[in-house]
Amino acid sequence: MPTAVHLDRHFAALTGRAAIERYVEENRGRRVELVAELIGELAPGVSGNNTGEDISPLQTQRHAVYGPLYDRTLPGRLFLGLKRLLGDPELERLAVFERHYRIVALLVPILLHIREALEMEQPAPLPAIHAGRPVTFEGRAGNRNDVAVERLAEAYEHAGFGIAAFYPEPVAATLSWLHGARRRENGVALTVDFGGGTLDLAVVRFAGVRFEVLATHGMALGGDRIDQLIFEQMLFPELGKGERWVREVDGRSVDTLFPFHEFEAGLINWPTTFLLNQNHTRAMVVDRIARGGAGAEKFQRLLDLISFNYSYNCFQGIRRAKVALSSQLHTSIDIPELNLDVPFSRAQLEQILVPVLARTRECVQTVLDRACVAAGEVDVVIRTGGTSEIVAVRGLLEELFAGKVEGHDPFTSVACGLAIASYAGYAFPELDRGGPATGPGRRIPG
């Protein structure tokens, strides 16, 4: 279930996939008109009568003060990936139409949905749960992990959950491997949990039914960012990037590159793509189409995309193609809404992934350094998370740890590990959050 919340103008909430579908559909074909909000007036001033003549009129002037532009016809707000905002201590509330909601409050509908689903399987009251968390929350504040965990705990409490412990997700994945898939009695395991939003790692020493967490590390890098890189490299050229724009300006012909940079951020961030459907952005595209030439078809696709909010459809096509390249060498990014089918090969994907793999390598080395463990001392690498299924990611881990890499339940390993921790009553020690993690052994049930 995506961690998405949609609030309409009556503040009714939808969560998960239904929230995304409502948001995408309600913004198809909707022309956006941004207006400045009137927030006040400056004190009046008096002018005139500075000529020394009695008949010179006096004039009173009032000066309006306007706030930022806003979309006055927006039917609903979508909040996606709120977990990424939790670690910013300066960000306390988000505006939802004329109200301001605490970030904690916006998380509660998602957790309520989960609790209601659980109560259909197990009667209330539910036992205290083990909740997963990233190793390192996004943000620059030194105390971001403390702030984020405190906010998560409050949101769970408002949703009616009791929390037994917050558990780092890669440690939970390690637990599920130790419980069901381990093929040796003792050693050192490196878990690489590469998901949609984050890359999280843990180094664990295990012996029989006991284990010790030596270090954890993580960064905000995942499949979502890879999808954006694919969009930039494979789809931007099919939407007009790099094409020229010849037009008349003040009676003379001007030949420049089309200002595609003004569209890029809106295209690769599908929740805000509908904002491109404004008169001034449309006018540029419509004019370029009217000029004709080889690029006109590309700009017609761009116009269709921003008119009917098809960026989300583009990302769905990208994800399907990315998954296909885990088992085949060639596929295509198929977006029928734009009549677009772009050939896409594993070699092209691997070229796009070069900077991602470099950061992954650095992350692996960092967690090993924190654990004071050399690469040769690692006995097994537990590969989990959807992004870990990409062939290039698997190849990097095999290069670093030849013959030691094992794939493990890419989409359920963390949940299974949390269930085991809950069953056994493990309390993860309060360690240096985001830094080296060391602590006492924890018993694994037989």
Mean pLDDT of the 365-378 span: 97
User: Which residue ranges make up each domain of the chain?
Assistant: 4-39+60-111, 129-221+354-443, 223-352
Give the pairing type, strands 210-219 and 199-207. Answer: antiparallel
pLDDT in tens, 349-359: 999 999 999 99
Q: Which CATH class is domain 129-221+354-443?
A: alpha beta
CA 278 to chain centre: 25
State residue 119's pLDDT score: 92
State residue 444's pLDDT score: 37
Nearest to 203 by CA among 195, 194, 212: 212
Mean pLDDT of the 283-300 span: 94
pLDDT band at 68 (very low <50, low <70, confident <90, very high): low
Of the listed ranges 42-56, 64-78, 306-320, 401-415, the one predicted with least confidence: 42-56
Report the mean per-residue pLDDT for the chain.
87
State residue 95's pLDDT score: 85
Alpha-carbon separation of residue 384 from 190, 265, 368, 407 (angstroms): 11, 30, 18, 6
Mean pLDDT of the 330-339 span: 97
Q: Cα–Cα distance between 23 and 19 in angstroms, integer?
A: 6
pLDDT at 37 over 60: no
Q: Cα–Cα distance between 172 and 420 in angstroms, integer?
A: 8
Query: What are the beta bridge partners of residue 186?
Result: 207
User: Over pLDDT 90: what percentage of the chain?
Assistant: 67
pLDDT at 299 over 90: yes
Mean pLDDT of the 362-367 span: 97
pLDDT in tens, 149-185: 999 999 999 999 999 999 989 999 998 998 885 666 7
pLDDT in tens, 23-32: 999 999 998 8
pLDDT at 445 over 70: no
Q: Cα–Cα distance between 222 and 228 in angstroms, integer?
A: 10
**Helices 279-290 and 261-268: angle between axes, nearest 10 degrees:** 120
Let me know: does 337 contact 293? Beta carbons within 8 Å. no
